[in-house]
Amino acid sequence: MAEKILIFDTTLRDAEQTPGAALNGAEKLAIAKHLANLNVDVIEAGFPRSSPADFEAVKQIANEVEGPEICALSRIVEKDITDAWEAIKDSTRPRIHTFVGTSEIHIQGIMRSNRETILQRSTEAVGYARSLCATVEFSPMDAARTEPDYLFQIVEATIEAGASIINIPDTVGYAIPSEFGRLIAEIRQNVQNIDRAIISVHCHNDLGLAVANSIEAIKNGARQIECTVNGLGERAGNTSLEEIVMAIRTRRNHFGGVYTDVNASEIVPISRLVSRTMGIPVAPNKAIVGANAFAHSSGIHQDGVIKQRDTFEIINPKEVGLQESQIILSPRSGRNALRHRLSILGYEIEPEQMDSVYDRFLALADKKKEVHDADLEAIMRDEIRTIPVSEAAYRFDHIQIFSGNNISSTATVGLQTADGIVTEAATGDGPVNATYRAIDRVTDLPLKLSDYSIRSVTEGKDAIGEVTVKVEDKGRLIVGHGASTDIIEASAKAYINAINKVIHSQENAGS
């Protein structure tokens, strides 16, 4: 009989620990709602004890997102567990996930404790969590490096205390697939009450083996996989949701008929949502969701795919939310063609926004003659902001630059405000620095720029430049995006986008 593999998504918790990937509450909620559309089984919404903001974000998700279980992470600390429960208690399907390091490296190096104490504290914590919540998950962190007999002992004891899901983490990505699969098999053989719990795994990708280790775990009895969209997470990241789901779907017979309930057609749209929200581009060669995952440049490959798709594609692009045939957009393309292509890419455009998008598309098409998907993605990342245009305090209007290698750069920038266009000029070390100083004079909100990156979206001299900036506001990182064929304009738009987010956040905090 076919068995279901539960998909436990930790994008909002572990992936948010990716450096520079901090999300605000609205962004977390938007991703959580899309994860519900993806039909994952569990959403690990965050670590409520870590900060008041995370507590509120988890609580909002628990209140507003229907379908998946909403899970909150905690250490084996009573206050952590209490906060976790308070954040998720209004969910129709709450879960508390509590953890502690169980390897000697963690017990001595982090906890400054011993096995007996950790065992006792773990069972007490699980028991307390179970007194609050019907579903409790326990993770012996760094399980892959934990002495097996102790691991069996603590797993058996926490099941007895009330845990119904036991998660086996390869916390530092140390395991090799054959040994990790064997560990799962040994847990099933040596833990007397393991039939009362679901075995889960949480694999990190430090050696590039997270998906392979998760696959071996499934083959040896694991029935929940913890993963993230785009494989994001600490250090080298986690098991990639899209890769594990499509591996199961594509090679189902290899796994003995196991399946997931994930709505695969939402994979590419949520990948793009997470990428643009966190400001972390997906590598072009990334499996399933990369820009080149279904691209063919070789003449032999093109000929084969045209004659019979599966000669060079083991997955139909439509399965993951892509369109098999590509519409080539040009200056002669009308609004319907543009709207259709944007819909395929996961964007639904409101009528009032279409005028702006179409005007930008025509201007770019006149320069490039052909507009590619990556160009449209850049336009949309620039158009779609956390702050609606109607609520933005500042909008880019114009810029003039005077610069050279033997002179100081001067920038004159005009911003649209509620009182009309305000123009300021400033000098700086280069045109971008001068531009940002001029903007600071208009907004009177100088921010610390912690990161600036620019990339060419497509090839050629007329390519769109996409700028991502990260600014600091009271210890929080705010991400801004801007795109244009003029990189100085793109830089200005990205900085203005970040400023609007800061102002919006401050206004909400004061309301």
Over residues 93-152, the pLDDT tens digits come to 999 999 999 999 999 999 999 999 999 999 999 999 999 999 999 999 999 999 999 999
**pTM for the whole structure:** 0.74
Class of domain 393-510: alpha beta
Element (H, E) at 92: none
Token pair recorded at residue 273? 């949502």
- Three-class DSSP labels, 302-336: HHHHHHCHHHCCCCCHHHHCCCCCCCCECCCCCHH
Token pair recorded at residue 18? 């990716």
Give the pLDDT score at 325. Answer: 42
The phi and psi torsions of 449 (rounded to 5 degrees) equal -85, 115
pLDDT over 90 percentage in the chain = 63
The phi and psi torsions of 99 (rounded to 5 degrees) equal -145, 160
CA 351 vs. chain centroid, Å, equals: 28
With a cut of 60, say whether residue 70 has pLDDT above it: yes
CA 96 vs CA 43, 72, 104, 155, 305: distances in Å: 11, 5, 25, 16, 47
* Cβ–Cβ < 8 Å for 151, 191: no
pLDDT tier at 330, thresholds 50, 70, 90: low
Rounded CA-CA distance 236/229 in Å is 13
Residue with tokens 């004159």: 412
* Cβ–Cβ < 8 Å for 491, 482: yes
The yes/no answer on whether domain 6-278 falls in CATH 1.10.3720.10 is no
345-353: list long-range contacts, CB under 8 Å, 24+ apart: 345/272, 345/373, 345/376, 345/377, 345/380, 346/268, 346/269, 346/272, 346/273, 346/321, 347/380, 347/384, 353/383
Domain extents for the chain?
6-278, 294-322, 326-384, 393-510
HSE-CB of 408 using CA atoms within 13 angstroms: 10
Token pair recorded at residue 186? 């040994």
Paired sense of beta strands 407-417 and 420-428, if any: antiparallel
More confident residue, 279 or 35: 35
Rounded CA-CA distance 430/406 in Å is 11
CA 255 vs. chain centroid, Å, equals: 27
* Cβ–Cβ < 8 Å for 267, 253: no
Give the pLDDT score at 461. Answer: 67
Q: Which of 215, 220, 225, 208 is nearest to 183 (CA)?
A: 220
CA 416 vs. chain centroid, Å, equals: 32
With a cut of 90, say whether residue 201 has pLDDT above it: yes
CA 48 vs CA 57, 68, 141, 207: distances in Å: 8, 18, 19, 30
pLDDT in tens, 455-488: 887 666 667 788 989 998 877 788 888 888 889 9
